[in-house]
Amino acid sequence: MGNLTAIYFSPTGGTKQYVCAVARGIGSYGELNLTDRETRAREYTFSADDLVVVGVPVYYGRVPQLPDDLLRGLHGDGTPAVFAAVYGNREFDDALLELSGRCEKQGFRGVAAAAFVAQHTFSAKIAAGRPDADDLLIAEEFGRSAKASMAEKDGKGLSLPGNRPYRSFQVAPFIPKGDKKCTACGACVRVCPAGAVAPEMPRQTDAKKCIRCLACVHACPVHARKVGGPVYGMVTRKLEKELAKTEKEARLFLP
């Protein structure tokens, strides 16, 4: 095998933990953090001997949409890939199928895939504290199984759930903003994967660019950034009512 790379887009860190755990189960690996805009702007070429683990969070049942297309710079050459979709205990819908379909168009071929549960971005009451130690052990074990399956079946016969055309990508009708506690330290500017917070006006958010990932809310050291308004409150209460009681487990797909 050539190089193993853990590739992830992970504004609040859940996806990163799972992708790295899967990679750990396979072997020693390097990381490519597509959350970072400068990293995402470069091109990355992988050979047929390499192996990648590619993970994204599920947004509205889909792969997150960014103006610059988060997978754009990845180029495979028949490169085997393990896919991961990380979701907040509702559903992953078409995200895994979309991730695999889009990566395949860019020269990768799926050998295994998984959908994992992590704490929901919009509420710490949904799948609270996940991934936990058990989740990460399952992801690591899945990495070992994916490696063994690859040697035996080379991805032939892998089948993923989901529908085409993919469900429509909605955009939540709320955005985070900074309040008067803001010290203009620039943490939100640095972590925003979409460039939606301008350094000269860090309390504001460009609603057209914002992907509602809430990385800025998590990163603010003085808790000045929040999503306000009745709509956000209604959405989170509804999600908590539906999703806080029962927690889902990982779904693993091997040929």
Ligand X SMILES: Cc1cc2nc3c(=O)[nH]c(=O)nc-3n(C[C@H](O)[C@H](O)[C@H](O)COP(=O)(O)O)c2cc1C
Binding site for ligand X (CB under 6 A): 10-15, 57-61, 86-91, 118-121, 172, 212-214
11/229 Cα distance (integer angstroms): 22
Q: How far is the CB of 73 from ligand X (least distance, A)?
A: 19
Least separation in angstroms between residue 212's CB and ligand X is 4
Can you tell me the distance from the alpha carbon of 31 to that of 3, in angstroms, rounded to the nearest whole number?
11
Nearer to ligand X, 53 or 150 (CB): 53
Of 172 and 219, the one with the shorter C-beta distance to ligand X is 172
Whichever of 120 and 177 has its CB closer to ligand X, that residue is 120
Cα 212 from chain centroid (whole Å): 13
Minimum distance from residue 243 beta carbon to ligand X (Å)? 8
The nearest distance, CB 86 to ligand X, in angstroms, is 5
Beta bridge partners, 178, equal: 225
What is the closest distance, in whole angstroms, from the C-beta atom of residue 79 to ligand X in the complex?
A: 23
The DSSP line for 4-19 is EEEEE--TTSHHHHHH
Q: Which residues pair with 86 in a beta bridge?
A: 57, 116
Please, which residue, 14 or 162, has the CB nearer to ligand X? 14
Based on CB atoms, which residue is closest to ligand X, 81 or 84?
A: 84
Separation CA 196–CA 209 (nearest Å): 5
Helix (H), strand (E) counts: the chain: 7, 10
